[in-house]
Amino acid sequence: MPDAMPLVADPFAKFQDWMNEAWTHEPEDANAMTLASATPDGTPAARIVLLKGADTRGFVFYTNTQSRKGEELTSNARAALLFHWKPLGRQVRIEGYVEHVTDAEADAYYATRPRISRLGAWASDQSRVLPNRTELEHRLAAYEVKYPGEDIPRPPHWSGFRVVPERFEFWQNMPFRLHDRMIYTKGANGGWTIGKLFP
């Protein structure tokens, strides 16, 4: 039977090691993660988003803040993330609270997006009913005329969220479903308590 996961004191360092390895096996979407949010009354929703930043402050993704997920995260600032790297037989679950990134962070990332993606952030009323595809195409064309060059300001409703972890679970596939599960729970003093879970 393979060895169990070695003990690593810092969950952020462990995550980065796993992410670096994931990129070698899934070069197109290793940063894809399931984001779970909920309304204030507890109605859940989940979708795939792309991780765009990870450090000891938390895990960042960008979206239309007026979308369903944006409204849920604003009204109920708790979220869960799930990374699943099937070729490696690994999962990482992260749970924590949510905060907005700074305007400077959002501006910097927005500037790196392709031109059409930046225009699309203006044209799309994300999560709202779209009567037909033609309407989206017409709106995009109108913004192409409004912003003909590369100088496209970031829409005020487009920004980023940061999930600040309070709990990590690292899951490693093992034979006979005797999986290895390591958890990190953040304490009141900011330190991490490390433990194992039955598979």
pTM of the full structure: 0.94
In a domain, 2, yes or no: no
- List active site positions: 177
Quote the number of domains for the chain.
1
Domain assignment present for residue 69? The answer is yes
CB 192 within 8 A of CB 171: no
Locus of tokens 């109108």: 142
pLDDT above 70 as % of the chain: 98
Q: How far is CA 99 from CA 14, 28, 89, 93, 132, in A?
A: 23, 27, 31, 18, 34
pLDDT at 103 over 90: yes
The pLDDT of residue 2 is 58
With a cut of 90, say whether residue 187 has pLDDT above it: yes
Any domain includes 51: yes
**In whole angstroms, what is the distance from residue 120 CA to residue 10 CA?**
38
- Residue-wise pLDDT for 155-164, tens only, equals 999 999 999 9
> Are the beta carbons of 115 and 55 closer than 8 angstroms?
no
